[in-house]
């Protein structure tokens, strides 16, 4: 569009207030404003600004910056994506990245006070130390070394002894498959077990399979009580049952931006510093006893909005950067958090490919 009346240097650039509305959510004392993004490609065409989405723009702006990485949890910044993409990763992590979990329990003996179904449910929720990428989903197949992991639990509390606590570490992995014999076979036939392993699972995993945490209490046994069972773990996803979810939690928040609209000095500055429960503000000494408030740790802001209430409220603006997410993944232990994220990326990629192939 020809806009000779607009000076050349101002074309392709939005005025500050519009740029702020496009890229930030502003959090007022009562409610946030400009929460809705500008999705329409021609939203700013009149000002010569192209608001369309393109792969090139995405490649130029997308960044991942890892802030913290431990065995079980990670925090990283995901920059240059829409909230819908960040949310897609969160949902895939919770519901679609597969893990192994106990699905069937063959109860041989249970004289503890816990009912069979409650005990089975508890076993299902124990995080297993098994790489799900090495296993297949079980459908109508016979349980075999590629789709089932077998654990055995056989504990008893002797009469006259102290009460016994049964812990998850007492679950014993059976790499050769089930040891429970099915109903007696016909004469001459070999007696079958509840799995049909063609080889030892040691050859598949290359390491020992067990439980992630050995100190989870499963039951308490009194004198004379016993539990004997066999538990079969299979591959599944969190949208079927939460026990298959690979994350304790996966969540994100938009990057906080705390801006002082005016200089806040002396007593008001001290009051502002005291208001913030997470020490976002600091006092800067200006000499001669003068002080002013500065924003020292904006990432720590929890959006409690204390600072935008009261007399200093008009002088502080709380914003959130619309395309910058602080993402946290807490793994339950089956896979390290960084692997979980790459698995989530692969799943999203597969979904996109499916849509493209359906369209074409």
Binding site for ligand SF4 (CB under 6 A): 258, 275-276, 278, 280, 301-307, 318
Q: Is 191 left (phi over 0), alpha (psi -120 to 50) or beta?
A: beta
Q: Write down the least CB distance from residue 97 to ligand SF4, Å.
A: 32
Q: How near is the Cβ of 305 to ligand SF4 at its closest, in Å? A: 5
Residue number with CB closer to ligand SF4 (126 or 301): 301
Instruction: Annotate 147-190 with three-state secondary structure.
Output: CCEEEEEEEECCCCCCCEEEEHHHCEECCCCCCCECCCCCCCCC
Give the nearer residue to ligand SF4 in terms of CB position, either 260 or 334: 260
Distance CA 229, CA 102 (A): 12
89 neighbors 327 (Cβ within 8 angstroms): yes
User: Least distance from C-beta 298 to ligand SF4, angstroms?
Assistant: 7
Sign of torsion, CA 48 49 53 54? positive
Residue 272 CB, shortest distance to ligand SF4, in Å, is 8
Residue 276 CB, nearest approach to ligand SF4 (Å): 3
User: How far apart are the C-alpha atoms of 150 and 351, rounded to whole Å?
Assistant: 32
Record the tokens describing residue 304, joined without a space.
Answer: 């409690």
The residue (of 46 and 278) whose beta carbon lies closer to ligand SF4 is 278
- Alpha-carbon span 194 to 150, nearest angstrom: 10
Closer to ligand SF4 by CB, 101 or 254: give it.
254
Is there a contact between 231 and 103 (Cβ–Cβ < 8 Å)? Answer: no
CB of 30 to ligand SF4, least distance (A): 13
Task: Give min distance, CB of 254 to ligand SF4, in A.
Answer: 13
* Paired strand residues for 254: 325
Q: Which residues contact 327 (CB under 8 A, 6 or more apart)?
A: 75, 76, 77, 78, 86, 89, 90, 250, 251, 252
Q: Which is nearer to ligand SF4, 227 or 308 (CB)?
A: 308
Rounded CA-CA distance 186/172 in Å is 31
Return the number of the residue (101 or 258) whose C-beta is nearest ligand SF4. 258
Nearer to ligand SF4, 92 or 280 (CB): 280
């Amino acid at each position: 569009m020809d806009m000779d009346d607009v000076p050349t240097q101002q074309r392709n650039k939005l005025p500050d207030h519009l740029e702020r509305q496009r890229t930030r959510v502003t959090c007022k004392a009562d409610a946030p404003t400009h929460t809705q993004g500008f999705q329409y490609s021609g939203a700013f065409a009149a000002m010569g600004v192209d608001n369309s989405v393109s792969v090139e723009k995405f490649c130029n702006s997308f960044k991942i910056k890892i802030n913290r990485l431990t065995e079980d949890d990670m925090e990283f910044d995901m920059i240059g994506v829409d909230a819908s993409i960040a949310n897609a990763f969160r949902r895939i992590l919770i519901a679609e990245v597969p893990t192994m979990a106990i699905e069937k329990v063959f109860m041989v003996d249970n004289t503890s006070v816990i009912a069979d179904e409650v005990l089975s449910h508890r076993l299902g929720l124990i995080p297993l130390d098994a790489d799900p990428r090495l296993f297949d989903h079980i459908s109508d197949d016979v349980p075999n070394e590629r789709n089932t992991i077998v654990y055995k639990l056989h504990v008893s509390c002797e009469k006259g002894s102290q009460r016994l606590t049964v812990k998850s570490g007492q679950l014993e992995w059976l790499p050769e498959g089930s040891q429970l014999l099915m109903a007696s076979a016909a004469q001459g036939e070999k007696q079958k077990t509840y799995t049909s392993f063609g080889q030892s699972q040691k050859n598949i995993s290359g390491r020992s399979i067990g439980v992630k945490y050995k100190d989870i209490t499963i039951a308490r046994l009194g004198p004379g009580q016993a539990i004997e069972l066999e538990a079969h773990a299979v591959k599944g996803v969190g949208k079927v049952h939460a026990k298959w979810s690979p994350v304790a939690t996966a969540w994100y928040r938009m990057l906080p931006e705390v801006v002082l609209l005016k200089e806040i000095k002396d007593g008001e500055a001290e009051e502002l510093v005291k208001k913030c429960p997470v020490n976002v503000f600091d006092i800067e000494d200006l000499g001669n006893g003068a002080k002013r408030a500065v924003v020292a740790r904006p990432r720590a802001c929890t959006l409690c909005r204390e600072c935008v209430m009261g007399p200093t409220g008009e002088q502080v603006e709380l914003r959130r950067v619309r395309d910058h997410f602080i993402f946290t993944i807490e793994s339950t232990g089956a896979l390290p958090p960084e692997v979980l994220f790459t698995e989530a990326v692969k799943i999203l990629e597969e979904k996109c490919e499916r849509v493209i192939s359906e369209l074409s």
